[in-house]
Amino acid sequence: MNITEKILARASGSEEVHPGEIVESRVDLAMSHDGTSPPTINTFRKIAKKVWNPDKIVIVFDHNLPANNIGSAEFQKITRKFAIEQEIKKIYTHGEGICHQVLTEKGLIKPGEVVVGADSHTCTYGAFGAFATGMGATDMAMVYATGKTWFMVPESFKITVNGTLENYVTAKDLILNIIGEIGSFGAAYRALEFKGQTIENMDVSGRLTMCNMAVESGAKNGIMEPNTATLNYLKNRGVSSFEVFRSDEDSEYEREYYFEVDELEPQIACPHNVDNVHPISQVKCTSIDQAFIGSCTNGRLEDLQMAAKILNGKKVDDNVRLIVVPASKQIYLDALHQGIIETFINAGAILCNPGCGPCLGAHMGVIGRDEVCISTTNRNFVGRMGDPHSEVYLANPAVVASSAIAGEIMDPRD
């Protein structure tokens, strides 16, 4: 079996499982946020009175924090009341950051476990060798009530990546390149298993970015076998008592892909699909109105460091709004201590509190009709960040920072 099948076999109490088989799986950790908790709670109250295990439920306020309208305020009020009633202690309501970053920083994710979240980018945790996937509020209500859910064991795609990424070419460019090859629906309900020299040598931040965007190809989950950097990250957060699963050498895959990255240039996902990917040489000089650095994809310290290196001593173009949102409170503090926040402010950027920010077009940084934004986020669908007649280009933090200075899409290597 491969790593995904081994984890689902353990969680379902089976010696082995096969693609297409329906299994009832034990859940090790369940998460919802300020946007998805209330509908989960509403359904939960129809089927149960007490959650199965309050210590295995995590709630994070991140999508609309601070509340930007009455509806958001009510959602958060309902969720706080539920957490108190159910004795859920792992609730983060004071701007700790984006759920997917907070759970990793707090050491709540362990290799080999099954993690579900009422958010599609829950697949991020596959970077730790966990089976992690998103689900809707109705399914999450059943998990809250029973601690179990069902899965169809997915077919797996093996994605082997070799070579060394050039300066200012990042894991974001690699995953965009992969999605451009596979297509937005090319991996529907598949497991994307990332392997190879490049993946083995990749830092935790890059691995999180890769698995975060697996869902943009339609995948059920993205997953990697933990490398040394990952195991050290877990050790530094006091994470212990876990089992690392690795794919058998004779594992079978529905499809295999091979990528060489030595000559890969920065990639841009152009409107209005994540698989509409082109090398930057084909799209640079496109005028922009807004630039955004942040999100659960690229709001980590390494991303801010890269952007600050480019922005240091320079100014954002007068016709561009640069918005920076650190992915967590800890990242914000680290960036503050390193002088990165000062660099952003001196360059003319707008700094906002940790959270999802402009990514979903609901809270801040909304773009207007015919405006163009270049963003480090994970989606560029029609109307994703604002008006349906606006456009969103996806890129790595170095590209976004360079573009903010130039007023148009710019290759940071230039």
**By the 8 A CB rule, do 380 and 394 touch?**
yes
Q: Give the pairing of strands 22-26 and 148-152.
A: antiparallel
Q: Which of 46-55, 213-222, 364-373, 380-389 has the lowest mean pLDDT?
A: 380-389
Is the domain of 255 the same as that of 283?
A: no
Instruction: Please enumerate in sequence order all residues whose Cβ is within 8 A of that of 116, keeping only pairs 6 or more positions apart, or say none.
Output: 27, 29, 30, 31, 122, 132, 133, 134, 135, 139, 140, 143, 149
What is the helix, strand, coil percentage profile of the chain, to 5?
A: 35, 20, 45
pLDDT of the residue at 382: 84
Distance CA 321, CA 366 (A): 11
Quick one: pLDDT band at residue 116, thresholds 50, 70, 90? very high
Is the domain of 91 the same as that of 180?
A: yes
Instruction: Please enumerate in sequence order all residues whose Cβ is within 8 A of that of 259, keeping only pairs 6 or more positions apart, or say none.
Output: 159, 160, 161, 162, 163, 174, 177, 178, 181, 196, 198
- DSSP letter (8 states) at residue 216: G
In a domain, 414, yes or no: no
Is the domain of 253 the same as that of 338?
A: no
In a domain, 411, yes or no: no
Is the domain of 279 the same as that of 252?
A: no
Quick one: pLDDT band at residue 49, thresholds 50, 70, 90? very high
In a domain, 208, yes or no: yes
Angle at CA of residue 160, ends 242 and 16, nearest 5°:
45
pLDDT of the residue at 71: 86
Q: Phi-psi category of 268—alpha, beta or left, where left has phi over 0 and alpha has psi -120 to 50?
A: beta
Structure-token match 């974001």, residue found: 172
Q: Which residues of 245-277 are buried (b: 16+ CB within 10 A; e: fewer)?
A: bebeeebebeeebebebeebbbbbbbbbbbbbb
Omega within 30 of 0 (cis) for the link into 39: no
Omega within 30 of 0 (cis) for the link into 272: yes
**By the 8 A CB rule, do 19 and 117 touch?**
no
**By the 8 A CB rule, do 193 and 224 touch?**
yes
Is the domain of 203 the same as that of 282?
A: no
In a domain, 185, yes or no: yes
Distance CA 288, CA 273 (A): 18
Is the domain of 304 the same as that of 231?
A: no
pLDDT at 392 over 80: yes
Is the domain of 225 the same as that of 85?
A: yes
Domain boundary among 227, 259, 291: 259
Quick one: pLDDT band at residue 79, thresholds 50, 70, 90? very high
pLDDT of the residue at 119: 92
Quick one: pLDDT band at residue 364, thresholds 50, 70, 90? confident
pLDDT at 387 over 90: no
Quick one: pLDDT band at residue 226, thresholds 50, 70, 90? very high
Domain containing 103 equals: 3-259
In a domain, 264, yes or no: no
Sign of CA dihedral 299, 357, 114, 157: negative
**By the 8 A CB rule, do 157 and 62 touch?**
no
Q: What is the CATH number of the domain that holds 204?
A: 3.30.499.10
Is the domain of 276 the same as that of 253?
A: no
Is the domain of 126 the same as that of 250?
A: yes
For residue 267 the two structure tokens come to 């990639």
How many Cα atoms sit within 13 Å of 391 on the Cβ side? Answer: 14
Quick one: pLDDT band at residue 358, thresholds 50, 70, 90? confident
Quick one: pLDDT band at residue 81, thresholds 50, 70, 90? very high
Name the pTM for this structure.
0.92
Domain boundary among 204, 239, 259: 259
Distance CA 258, CA 178 (A): 9
In a domain, 413, yes or no: no
Is the domain of 108 the same as that of 239?
A: yes
Quick one: pLDDT band at residue 62, thresholds 50, 70, 90? confident
What stretch of H or E contains 32?
A: strand 29-33
pLDDT of the residue at 17: 96
pLDDT of the residue at 371: 94
Is the domain of 206 the same as that of 246?
A: yes
In a domain, 67, yes or no: yes
Domain boundary among 259, 292, 323: 259
What distance, in Å, lies between the first and last C-alpha atoms of the chain? 46
For residue 33 the two structure tokens come to 């946020």
Quick one: pLDDT band at residue 361, thresholds 50, 70, 90? confident
Quick one: pLDDT band at residue 212, thresholds 50, 70, 90? very high
Is the domain of 67 the same as that of 194?
A: yes
pLDDT of the residue at 230: 96
In a domain, 98, yes or no: yes
Domain count, the chain: 2
Nearest to 16 by CA among 193, 187, 257, 252: 252
Q: What is the mean pLDDT of residues 159-163?
A: 97
pLDDT of the residue at 34: 86
Nearest to 93 by CA among 358, 353, 359: 353
